[in-house]
């Protein structure tokens, strides 16, 4: 049975911070980058914007309106020092989870075959 397409991830803030650590961007471009990076994860636009708002409210992102480009103004987000520190915390959390998952896989591989 193929895996189902997964919905939102609890790690969405980590992926948003990572995208912005690579350079400032607006919400639509961040959403596109996440869809490209995580094709098996269904990331909806509203969740990305809610995450951006929450990270900005927590001081992990700053934002400024870009009115230079043609079309409507875009809110461009940048990671702050606090955001970079939070990204470091996410990295440690993910490393810990990977270690636990590798342990699971190693123990699973030692099981006798199913009958």
Residue 3 located in a structural domain: no
The count of structural domains within the chain is 1
* CATH number reported for the structural domain that contains residue 21 in this entry: 1.10.10.10
Residue 114 located in a structural domain: no
Residue 4 located in a structural domain: no
Starting from the edge strand earliest in sequence, which strands make up the sheet with 25-26, in order?
25-26, 74-79, 61-66
With bands split at pLDDT 50, 70 and 90, how would you rate the model's confidence at 62?
very high
Q: Per residue in 63-91, pLDDT tens?
A: 999 999 888 999 999 999 999 999 999 99
Residue 62 located in a structural domain: yes
Residue 83 located in a structural domain: yes
The yes-or-no verdict on residue 115 having pLDDT over 80 is yes
Residue 82 located in a structural domain: yes
pTM for this structure? 0.85
Among 95, 4, 13, smallest CA distance to 61 is for 13
Cβ neighbours of 84 (radius 10 Å): 13
**Boundaries of domain holding 32:** 12-109
Residue 77 located in a structural domain: yes
Residue 7 located in a structural domain: no
User: Mean per-residue pLDDT for 28-50?
Assistant: 92
d(CA 5, CA 54): 25
């Amino acid at each position: 049975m193929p895996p189902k397409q997964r919905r939102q991830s609890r790690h969405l803030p980590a992926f948003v911070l990572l995208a912005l650590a690579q350079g400032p961007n607006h919400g639509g471009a961040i959403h596109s980058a996440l869809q490209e990076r995580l094709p098996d994860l269904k990331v909806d636009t509203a969740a990305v914007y809610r995450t951006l708002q929450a990270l900005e409210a927590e001081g992990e992102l700053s934002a400024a309106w870009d009115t230079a480009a043609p079309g409507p103004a875009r809110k461009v987000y940048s990671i702050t020092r606090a955001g970079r520190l939070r990204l470091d915390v996410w990295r440690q959390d993910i490393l810990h989870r990977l270690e636990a998952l590798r342990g699971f896989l190693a123990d699973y591989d030692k099981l006798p075959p199913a009958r």
